[in-house]
Amino acid sequence: MKAINRQAAFVRAKQPFVDWINEVERSMGSSDRSDLEHVNDDSHVYLFREFDMLEDTDEYFTSFKEEIFENELAAWFTDPALWPSRRTIDVFDDWFDVTYHSMLLDLERSRVKKGRPVAMNWAAGCRMEAWISAGGASSPPVVPPPVRRPGRAHLVPWFPSKRS
């Protein structure tokens, strides 16, 4: 077992995020309802560089909150038109709870394999895959454009190629 030179931020939804999910579902005519437990069943974990001081950790992570907010929204609905217009850091803090973890231990002996940079929006790839599997008969799912942030690596969404 070896320590990994990263910190982790666990991002868990609060009730306002669940309320938004249910509001969008209702506006789309769905009777599906989510609850806080279901939404947080498999919450996202974000890895980033290590810091010695909590203040530094929080300041660094805060610089990504708007981007992470978009990722959390897109994990539920890929159409940005359905997202709330106010996506500020304050709204993020109202909608999500973040806990930092500084001790990450790797139980595997094999090296960590990194892939190419992908959009934080994995849901878009999943929905595209489902559309392709269904034969692509209907219109393709709405997929937001790649997230572009000045001074950061450009994240490119993953779209599977149509299978024969």
Which tens digit of pLDDT belongs to each residue from 129-158?
554 555 555 555 554 444 444 443 333 333
- Tell me the three state secondary structure of residue 147: coil
Average pLDDT in the 85-101 region?
Answer: 96
- Tell me the three state secondary structure of residue 39: helix
Q: Which residues contact 10 (CB under 8 A, 6 or more apart)?
A: 43, 44, 45, 98, 99, 101
Give the span between the Cα atoms of 112 and 150, in whole angstroms.
Answer: 28
Q: Give the least confident one: 49-63, 91-105, 118-132.
A: 118-132
Pair 93, 69: CB distance under 8 Å: no
**Residue 72: Cβ within 10 Å count:** 22
Q: Show me where the domains of the chain are located.
A: 2-110, 115-164
pLDDT digits (tens, 9 = 90+) for 14-42: 999 999 999 999 998 988 899 999 999 98
For residue 49, what pLDDT band results from cuts at 50, 70 and 90?
A: very high
- Res 13 pLDDT > 90: yes
Q: Which residues contact 66 (CB under 8 A, 6 or more apart)?
A: 87, 88, 89, 92
**Residue 81: Cβ within 10 Å count:** 8
Burial of 162 (0-12, 13-18, 19+ CB in 10 A): exposed
Pair 78, 124: CB distance under 8 Å: yes
